[in-house]
Structure 1
């Protein structure tokens, strides 16, 4: 059937109007404006200017440029790569700030494999978990600020797997924002930035046949820093999702550099991962499991992110979304609009949410509720029930409004995480608003 230009124009307008109505159903214009302003303000409070004092005894910012910490007030007195990278797509970080943090991160990349006092390895190409701002020393492992004493078994024998991929995202987003592809040839400690990006990409152990990231008990690495207190082994879903994204980003960079051979290579890696993830991790409920080894439980964050990245599509996405929607309606997924890593109905036992964790049950990464993935989850649920998605986001915004840190020092939202019994951690936490804002902004811009 052929359509006239008039018919096509009408169909396009109807389609756009429908899309706008769906977006409005997820979040109101007023609530989106509130979230946008709060995200700006939290990011601004997370900035540390050159020479500015850090909390407590952590000295001044001597890195020569502005840094973005994981949050405001007296939390997290260092520069964390992942939290910053996860917030980049807000568009609220200037290109000058981006360039400084990108080059700082590149300059602290490990150029020689070494063994820590605790017996853990820092491999060639590794990116810091966080960087001390007073002396620019990289700390590759969670749980400490001590450069010499880093790397103990409870946080893995190998640095977290995600920071390498987030380093690639930092470079990709800077180049996307500025068009400055020449920065890839910048000399950083006698290595070009583009070579450092490729070295970072290759750090994590991966299967040759499908490029899926994996770890084991003997030489464990944390799959994702938002659960560095959790013991997860085997093939790793979340780290593989991040590798998928990084592969696409490297492919695009090499296309800009007119290197077709490498662009094809990285697109093939991304395609391999996209095919492998559902076949390896998807269970009968349509959910993705966190891993194939220890703590191989249904992973709410990974499943929602996989839908967001379109790794789960069509009926696979709808089945997972329906399961999340049912969990939301039965109260096992969310509290005040924030999300658990594992559904309460899927806790490993009465004493722990994940199979193995340093944190107690219903605290921190072992059962507390986090706002960071709320946007991914809401967009997933919207595939099957727009009203549920709207209600989830409304509850999330209501909590932010009620405990808005801008009201005074006794108010703390956005919190890093909290639980129903009054437990909370991490006031004025950036990704709690930046990640939902990015996810919802993407839908809003797409539907305009």
Structure 2
């Protein structure tokens, strides 16, 4: 039997008997017990360093936490002194955040949801129902755009004329995770400033512009939002892969929440949206490289993060799933997508040209979101590679753990791992970064069938 055809048949069988968050295809462990223990302990330490307790000062420039509860920021030390919805939501599935903490941050996010449509001083628009990019800790005021902590100065064209798209869908994920973990279904009917939480979730879901037929998120030159906050310095237009994947998951989550509420009509509506997105993704974002491309117009480079997340979230199946797993495995083996276990957005041999990784970027090549290496997607990539090459998945995981051990921030101030990202020349950005360990930990647990 042809090996590719054989893998195809095995994966079809696996997906026909597993849920989207089912058990690992491969029974062999990707991490050893010692590696798992190290990663869990490190994640706990980073999470604690990221907490901002009530009335705690983390920076003289931003005041104390006056929100009335614990906040979790993107990392420890001096990085990002505000509450970022995105980073927090991406760490939820670790099982390390208490019910009371989740409730506080979910309600704070709901209370700061845009109650009307308005135009910023810089000419950008905040639509009704938009979710903040980040929230100030001193006065609980929402900032809907990247690049500033100023409520007055927020929203200029280089950061998008619309708020980043991903936060709306991550708001849904926050509520879904809370209800699944705590079982407090009544919170969906709770009124926040006159509107129930479930209505706020549905409103947020509709904010990012989408095609009416396939429901994929899109951006134009005049009406452009950041596709995902971990590449807010990248200018993308056309249909957008990453936020469409987040929308796919959010649609499935809303369908389940409405099902729990006994609302069959709304459940069916969101199930249909999820199905349409899933059908469209492998077709619309098909790229000759074998990866899914990030967009259909500007900055349509092969997308390592998006391709691996599509596998991880179950948005690909059949031949598309096989292709994604194999192309990620081949690229890892070739050395074009990772460095020391961390992952680049675009493969090294798929840059736009000699001077640019993405077609349009606000930052220099091979730095930050334009070619540096990040820990956040390592688990998604390992998960995808594991389907076709468990040995390569273990190699990637071991490289990732080795870098964390070498630069573990708990060794002292001169150490900073987990970093937000780093490059091959020794440059690093933002030490003690939460999603760089939280997201991989969740993915590695899932591969082993371990509940948090």
Question: Counterparts of 1:263-302 in structure 2 under 5 Å?
Answer: 263-302=267-306
1:330-378 superposed Cα distances (whole Å, 9 cap, x missing partner): 2111000000000010111111110000010011000000000000101
> 2:67: which partner in 1?
63
Runs of 4+ in 1 over 3 A off after TM superposition: 19-25
The residue number in structure 1 matching 2:254 is 250
Find the residue that maps to 1:54 and give its secondary structure. Answer: strand
Determine if the alignment matches structure 1 residue 54 to structure 2 residue 58.
Answer: yes
Counterpart contact for 1:117–1:148, Cα < 8 Å? yes
Q: Distance in 2 between matches of 1:447 and 1:276?
A: 31
Residue among 144, 165, 177 paired with 1:161: 165
Contact 1:20/1:447 (8 A) holds in 2: no
Deviation at 1:23, TM superposition (A): 4.8
Aligned residue number for residue 172 of structure 1:
176
For the Cα contact (< 8 Å) 1:285–1:319, is it kept in 2?
Answer: no
Residue 352 in 1 paired to residue 356 in 2?
A: yes
Kept in 1: contact 2:131–2:204 (CA 8 A): yes
Residue pair 1:417, 1:426 contacting (<8 A) in 2 also: yes
What does residue range 106-145 of structure 1 map to in structure 2 within 5 Å? Answer: 106-145=110-149
Aligned pair 1:195/2:220, yes or no?
Answer: no
| Alignment of 1:100 onto 2:99 | no
Bigger shift: 118-127 or 49-58?
49-58
CA distance in 2, matches of 1:384, 1:22: 9
How much has 1:317 moved relative to structure 2? 1.5
The corresponding residue for 1:3 is none
Q: Where do residues 26-425 of structure 1 align in structure 2 (5 Å cutoff)?
A: 26-425=30-429
Instruction: Judge conservation of contact 1:55–1:75 (CA < 8 Å) in 2.
Output: no
| Shift in Å, 1:446 | 5.6
Q: Structure 1: give runs of 5+ residues left out of the alignment.
A: 1-14
Q: 1:31 to 1:188 in 2, by over 3 A?
A: same
Secondary structure of 1:439's aligned partner: helix
1:270 partner SS: helix
d(CA) in 1 for partners of 2:427, 2:355: 17
For normalisation by structure 2, the TM-score amounts to 0.93
Cα distance, 1:441 vs. partner? 0.8
| TM-score normalised per structure 1 | 0.94
Q: Match of 2:443? A: 439
Contact 2:24 2:446 in 1 (8 A): no
Distance change in 2, residues 1:64/1:316 (3 Å): same
Which SS does the other structure have where 1:391 is aligned? helix
1:137-191 CA distances to partner (integer Å, 9 max, x unpaired)? 0000000000010000110000000000000111111111111110011111111
Cα-to-partner distance string for 1:212-254 (whole Å, 9 max, x where unaligned): 1111111111010000000010001111000000001101110
Q: Secondary structure at the match of 1:267?
A: helix
Write out per-residue CA displacement over residues 189-208 of structure 1, whole angstroms, 9 at most, x where no aligned residue: 11111111111000011111
Total equivalences in the alignment: 431
Cα distance in 1 between the residues matched to 2:259 and 2:188: 13
- Residue 3 of structure 2 corresponds to none
Give the secondary structure class of the aligned counterpart of 2:49. helix
Are 1:429 and 2:433 counterparts?
A: yes
Which aligned pairs between 1:8-23 and structure 2 lie closer than 5 A?
A: 22-23=26-27
Q: Where do 5+ consecutive residues of structure 2 fail to align?
A: 1-16, 18-22
Q: Distance in 2 between matches of 1:211 and 1:248?
A: 13
Shift of 1:286: 2.8
